[in-house]
Chain A
Amino acid sequence: MSQPPNPSTRAPVAASARRVTYQARVERIFDHAEDTRSLFLRMVDRPMPAFVPGMFISVAIPLAAETRTRPYTIATAPEEGEPFELCFNLVTGGAGSAWMFARRIGDAIDFNGPFGAFTLDSKPQAETIFIAEGTGIAAIRPMLKRLMTAPLAHPITLLYAADRADHLLYRQELQQMAAAEARFSLQTLAAGPDTHDVYEQLLALTRRRWIAADQARGRHFYICGVGNGVIALRDLLRGSGYERRAVRYEQW
């Protein structure tokens, strides 16, 4: 019987090698809103492969005629162990999210990975601003959880926005983090029926707080969300003097 690979020796992996396929079972389901869900998964047979906060797993979605690969971000930090959490929303017309939403407790999910380039690889060496939109918090939450395990050397801000209030996920947990750590500040905003697009608000806030307020350009940014607003934020920051590599982002 073959042994699982040693996580510490797996990167990079030869493309010729068959990827290790893992299986996990749904242990718990939590609905954040009617269209936003978390699945809590426990591994079958093998231990959870090593990962870095911000990574995703590639889930094999078995459809009628084929199997599709769809990425789902791990919303828990590596040190939390199992069950690990996937947080996602129901995408209109999206076969992958419909299949994920149809999973029930005890169902098996096949995946490989984890993968991803939007990761927190080390402790920030400067003031760091995390900007999340909607379920984009799934990638940033494990980064914050890891950072909160030790006193912060530099200020951390989370600017978290959603199209409506009940799409602001993990709010209580994030507020507790802010209450417990003086150098971590949280700002949330929800677009309402009378307000503009949520990204317009994020762009305006970003411009005011981290561009117009001073000439400092040593901050680091991590941005994650859905849609072109992520790219607009990237362009705004890079265009105003922040180093290219200081502005990390993931657009879904």
Chain B
Amino acid sequence: MAKIRVIFENGDPERVVEFDPLAAPFHHDGKPGSILDVLLGHDIHLEHACGGNCACTTCHVIVRQGLEVLSEASEQEEDLLDRAPGLTPFSRLACQAVIEDPGAEIVVTVPRFTINQVSESR
């Protein structure tokens, strides 16, 4: 079984999910087997304003452990991450980062801030 530990920077209680990557999809948003798919399918809320279509960065997570076992980020994901506040070398979009290794142990932090309503004066 693979495992994801989710740490919320906002202080919400930490969550741990054990799952079988071969059983994906767990939900209907994000790539099947992605961090977003796994979390939503296990009743852990994660923002995904665009429906998990790689069109925003509200599902930005920072991967503390297991970055190397996630699917490679596409150019489209990298382009979007460029616009995410709090970007780190370990940033991924949860809707795109797929866990394929049945023995993976992933730790992610959900940042306190996400890119949201780009503001301008009305």
Q: Which residue numbers of A lie inside 8 Å of B, CB to CB?
A: 7-16, 19, 49-52, 55-56, 58, 68-71, 78, 96, 112-119, 121, 231, 234, 244-245, 249-252
Report chain B residues within 8 Å CB of A11. 115-119
Q: How far is the CA of A231 from the CA of B55 in the complex (A)?
A: 13
Q: How far is the CA of A10 from the CA of B80 in the complex (A)?
A: 20
Q: Mark B1-40, 1 if CB is under 8 A from A, else 0.
A: 0000000111110000000000000001100000000000
Report chain A residues within 8 Å CB of B76. 231, 251
Interface SS of A by simple majority: mixed
Interface SS of B by simple majority: loop
Q: Is A117 in contact with B56, judged by CB distance below 8 angstroms? A: yes
Chain B residues with a Cβ closer than 8 Å to the other chain, count: 38
* Minimum C-beta distance from B65 to chain A (A): 20
Among residues of B, the one whose C-beta sits closest to the C-beta of A119 is B118
Q: How far is the CA of A115 from the CA of B47 in the complex (A)?
A: 12
Q: Is A115 in contact with B9, judged by CB distance below 8 angstroms? A: no
Q: Is B117 in contact with A115, judged by CB distance below 8 angstroms? A: yes
| Beyond A15-B8, A115-B116, A231-B76, 4 extra complex contacts between A and B, CB < 8 Å | A10-B116, A11-B116, A15-B110, A117-B115
Q: How far is the CA of A244 from the CA of B52 in the complex (A)?
A: 23
Interface centre among B9, B110, B117, by most chain A C-beta atoms within 10 angstroms, is B117
Partner of A16, one of B11, B48, B82, B118: B11
